[in-house]
């Protein structure tokens, strides 16, 4: 009997860490088996700044997910975000030795490996190389070049770059928590997987994920990722403003924001007042809801305008690049009252709140289909694509994975590179030399091996 493909996603956010275990049900939908959530200590603006606290938070979330599901977590796909992330557009080409042969996976891998050799700023590392459109011998707008003839294969790429030290710190936390890292994915890409439909990606859509420490943006057009950005502001800055503006403690500021906050000051009457208990016997404070909304409004406008500047940088005004499906808001910050109306007002674009229920099984817990869990759901979906068995029922001994050579397609390369690198390197340790080891397979392995070995070697030396 074939065993279920159990996937695990770990969302290391600024305010919370979520471990989520899921599998595909018979209808192809995602069935969530268990969720663990812990307060995120040691992460600021999406970047780990205290290893010990982060490890404790990860372990707490993982234990909760294991208790909830009855599965033991072995490895995880992790989301990467933070203010150090940037993206660049790059074009590259290869000249093929034999134009009489059809283009295959090996040619695309060769092209992608070439992009990975790009010179980066000191301390930076490439996280994703996402092919956009291909060009064969001058013929443009080819989405799927495999199977075609041609001598010169060219492509434009969306390259996502991050700081090597930040990525390694995340790897260190995972390893010290007793888990294996099976893949890294950019968080806005994971959120996009969870909340966007294929039609929206075709029509053109901007996904804005408002988290605690950062606001992530991913823009799609013609079904292809066109632009990604991370703005280093999120819901925590709003809470900070309320705390300063109303002279109250952070816990009260967060409660005020969630319960009474609104991004649209005109909604509150002047006489609407909330009374907040004073500290240790001090007089209670009276806060006008209108003033509270003004504080929130000012900061939300600033965040949205920064994101809108990124949308303009992509070229939204160009008729060919127009985002017909408008904006989708997700993440915890999207639950703020009237934020949808404010975003529509500032950008003039259609807006909806994105819930990750599109791919979830019908009997899913209501809490899981909240925008808060969009990234975690996307990471589980990402992990499912790798066909890894990331968790085993408690009490069952984990069997060694069957030795197989993964097939790397364009899509797989685009969305799950690091995972494949991990898979290939594990296989290589116990792989016998097969007689039909063609050049194509060597090309496929070369880059993935080097990259994951580099991360592993770095982590081992650091111990």
Q: Given a cut of 90, is residue 158 above it in pLDDT? A: yes
pLDDT of residue 450: 55
pLDDT of residue 432: 41
170 lies in a domain? Answer: no
Q: Given a cut of 50, is residue 413 above it in pLDDT? A: no
Q: Residues 26-38: pLDDT tens digits?
A: 888 899 999 999 9
247 lies in a domain? Answer: yes
461: confidence class by pLDDT, cuts 50, 70, 90:
low
- What's the total number of domains in the chain? 1
282 lies in a domain? Answer: yes
Q: Yes or no: say if 263 and 296 are a contact pair by the CB < 8 Å rule.
A: yes
Average the pLDDT over 409-423 and give the result.
41
Task: With CA atoms as reference, report the closest residue to 354 among 336, 370, 377.
Answer: 370
pLDDT of residue 455: 66
- Spell out the alpha helix ranges (H) of 142-283: 164-176, 187-195, 198-203, 235-246, 250-260
Task: With CA atoms as reference, report the closest residue to 39 among 54, 20, 49, 51.
Answer: 54
Q: Given a cut of 70, is residue 408 above it in pLDDT? A: no
Q: Residues 167-201: pLDDT tens digits?
A: 999 999 999 999 999 888 999 999 999 999 999 99
Side-chain-side CA neighbours of residue 208 (13 Å): 34
Q: Given a cut of 80, is residue 433 above it in pLDDT? A: no
Q: Residues 131-152: pLDDT tens digits?
A: 989 999 989 889 899 999 999 9
Average the pLDDT over 253-266 and give the result.
91
CATH classification of the domain holding 285: 3.30.420.40
Average the pLDDT over 431-460 and give the result.
50
Side-chain-side CA neighbours of residue 322 (13 Å): 6
242 lies in a domain? Answer: yes
Q: Which residue has the higher pLDDT, 412 or 18?
A: 18
User: Could you tell me how many residues make up the chain?
Assistant: 463
Task: Look at the block and give the residue holding tokens 């899913």.
Answer: 364
257 lies in a domain? Answer: yes
Tell me how far apart the alpha carbons of residues 77 and 86 are, in angstroms, rounded to a whole number.
21
281 lies in a domain? Answer: yes
pLDDT of residue 405: 43
- DSSP-based helix, strand, coil % in the chain, nearest 5: 40, 25, 30
Q: Residues 315-353: pLDDT tens digits?
A: 888 888 999 999 999 999 999 999 999 999 999 999 999
Which among 255-264, 433-442, 451-460 has the top mean pLDDT? 255-264
30 lies in a domain? Answer: no
- Quote the domain boundaries for residue 263: 235-300
């Amino acid at each position: 009997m074939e065993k279920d493909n159990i996937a695990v996603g770990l969302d290391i956010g600024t305010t919370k860490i979520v471990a989520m275990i899921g599998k595909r049900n018979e209808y192809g939908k995602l069935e969530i088996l268990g969720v663990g959530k812990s307060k995120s200590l040691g992460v600021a603006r999406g970047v780990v700044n205290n290893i010990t606290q982060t490890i404790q938070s990860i372990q707490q979330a993982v234990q909760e997910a294991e208790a909830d599901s009855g599965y033991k977590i072995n490895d995880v796909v992790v989301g990467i975000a933070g203010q150090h992330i940037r993206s660049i557009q790059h074009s590259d080409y290869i000249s093929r030795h034999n134009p009489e042969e059809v283009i295959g996976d090996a040619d695309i891998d060769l092209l992608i490996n070439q992009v990975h050799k790009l010179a980066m700023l000191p301390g930076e590392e490439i996280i994703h190389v996402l092919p956009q459109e291909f060009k064969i011998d001058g013929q443009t707008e080819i989405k799927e070049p495999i199977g075609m003839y041609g001598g010169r294969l060219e492509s434009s790429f969306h390259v996502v770059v991050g700081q090597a030290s930040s990525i390694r710190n995340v790897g260190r936390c995972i390893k010290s928590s007793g888990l294996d890292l099976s893949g890294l994915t950019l968080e806005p890409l994971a959120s996009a997987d969870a909340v966007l439909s294929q039609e929206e990606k075709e029509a053109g859509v901007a996904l804005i994920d408002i988290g605690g420490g950062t606001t992530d943006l991913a823009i799609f057009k013609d079904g292809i990722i066109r632009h990604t950005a991370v703005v280093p502001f999120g819901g925590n800055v709003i809470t900070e403003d309320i705390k300063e503006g109303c002279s109250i403690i952070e816990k009260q500021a967060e409660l005020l924001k969630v319960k009474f906050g609104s991004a649209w000051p005109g909604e509150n009457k002047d006489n609407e007042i909330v009374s907040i208990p004073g500290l240790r016997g001090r007089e209670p404070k009276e806060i006008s809801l209108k003033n509270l909304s003004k504080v929130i409004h000012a900061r939300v406008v600033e965040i949205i305008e920064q994101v809108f500047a990124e949308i303009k940088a992509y070229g939204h005004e160009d008729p060919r690049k127009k985002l017909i499906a408008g904006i989708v808001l997700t993440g915890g910050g999207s639950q703020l009252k009237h934020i949808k109306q404010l975003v529509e007002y500032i950008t003039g674009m259609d807006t909806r709140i994105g819930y990750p229920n599109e791919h979830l099984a019908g009997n899913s817990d209501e809490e899981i289909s909240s925008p808060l869990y969009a990234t975690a759901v996307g990471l589980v979906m990402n992990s499912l694509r790798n066909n890894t068995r990331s968790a085993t029922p408690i009490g069952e001994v984990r069997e060694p994975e069957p030795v197989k050579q993964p097939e790397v397609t364009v899509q797989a390369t685009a969305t799950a590179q690091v995972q494949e690198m991990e898979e290939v390197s594990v296989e290589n340790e116990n792989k016998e030399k097969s007689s039909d080891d063609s050049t194509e397979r060597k090309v496929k392995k070369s880059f993935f091996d080097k990259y994951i070995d580099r991360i592993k070697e770095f982590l081992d030396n650091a111990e």
